[in-house]
Amino acid sequence: MIDPNAIAARLERELFDSIVPFWENHSPDPVNGGFFNLIDRDGTVFDTEKFIWMQWRNIYMFALLANTPAAPPRWLELAESGFRFCRDHAQLEDGGFAFSVTAEGEISDYDPQVAPMIEAIAAIASAQLFRATGQDVYRTEALLRLKRVREMIRAREAAGPFPGVPAFRSLGAWMHLVNAAAEVFACAGKMDGSPRRFLEEALEVLPGFRHPESGRWIERIGLDGSFRFGNSAGRMLMPGHGFETLWFMAEAAELIGNRELLAKIPDWTRSVYENALDREQGGLFPMQDALDLPLVLKESVGLKWWWTHSEALLALAMSWKISRDEWFLARFEEIDAWCTAHFRDSRNPEWFGWVDRAGNPVSLVKGAPSKTFFHVPRCLYCCAKFLRGE
């Protein structure tokens, strides 16, 4: 019999004894503020460029952990320092954020494609800061960023990606909206109706991304809810987004008492897992074609990603919490063991980010433009909570 409490205790030891110290000791910039993102296997900073979606993720995790029992004051200090750095150095004239800045805070790049995600992560980070401090500046920022996410989604769906190209709905955008709305509603939003309104809207839209015949969650659908399987872009799916969407939806449904939706999450999680599992080499595929045709859209299609597996663990733990079905605990143990064998570094803390299909690391770095103090610690923290039934 698998003991979920023992697993939870082990995950928390990894979080607080290994993961947090690694980032706390190596990521903060003591001179300019903010966080270094490009970090080698042993913690060495190998490039001082700072990526703003990673800055906000660091802020979120330190603020979230600052709300745990016996948290040292430094965690909240780091989160607030990161907030000031982003506010003072990364904001653009239109109120949005740059994609990256130099160590000193000079803007160096902007990427409109990830702008809504940056807003969403800023919203959840600010909400956790409000929860930790009660300061209105953070609540105001959380609500502002949440509303900007919704406005960006509305504008993109109205205009389309480019002139002459049909508009579509993006799973990633709506997934981040439901998470941001739930976090802001829980931490900072009960005096403003927009977080709950956005949350309920997203919960209505998101099930439309699930292809009912296959049980897969498709990255793009038409504004009318149609699936566009006539080209490879319309067939692309990322199991990590499927898992992430499911546990995000479950947390949101719990918040507002939507028991009907909550009851569907375990079966939906099972479908994503069974479709994503690599039955020959173990672990989970990062990208797939909805019709199982060859997928050639991305250079990294032959790799396996740390965040796919982190999100799978979260969805499996949440589905066990909802259903108490031992199948989910058994699958959790299998994926966690695969992560230990291939992503967890036996010499230094933190996980590798990318391995080949057989599980051999293709890069030894621990921090990258898309990897920081976020997916792994959030996984460990939330899985421990879910496995305790919280």
Rounded mean pLDDT, 59-74: 97
Q: How confident is the model at residue 298 (pLDDT cuts 50, 70, 90)?
A: low
Instruction: Provide the pLDDT for residue 297.
Output: 57
In DSSP terms, 211 is beta-bridged to: 216
Structure tokens at 333: 């143990």
Rounded mean pLDDT, 309-338: 98
Rounded mean pLDDT, 280-296: 91
Rounded mean pLDDT, 54-71: 97
Instruction: Provide the pLDDT for residue 68.
Output: 95
Whether 159 has a pLDDT exceeding 90, the answer reads no
Report how far residue 335's alpha carbon sits from residue 331's, in angstroms, rounded to the nearest whole number: 6
Q: What is the secondary structure of 63-121 as a DSSP string?
A: HHHHTSTT--HHHHHHHHHHHHHIIIIIB-TTS-B-SEE-TT--EEE--GGGHHHHHHH
Q: Does the pTM of the predicted model rise above 0.75?
A: yes
pLDDT digit string, tens, across residues 109-139: 999 999 999 999 999 999 999 999 999 999 9
On whether the CB atoms of residues 269 and 332 are closer than 8 A, the answer is no
Rounded mean pLDDT, 43-54: 98
Whether 171 has a pLDDT exceeding 70, the answer reads yes
Taking every pair of C-alpha atoms in the chain, what is the biggest distance, in angstroms?
Answer: 57
% pLDDT > 90, the chain = 92
Q: Considering just the CA atoms, what is the radius of gyration of the chain in Å?
A: 20
Rounded mean pLDDT, 243-262: 98
Q: 306-323 and 259-276 helices cross at what angle (nearest 10)?
A: 140
> What integer best gives the mean pLDDT of the chain?
96
Rounded mean pLDDT, 187-196: 86
Report how far residue 205's alpha carbon sits from residue 102's, in angstroms, rounded to the nearest whole number: 38
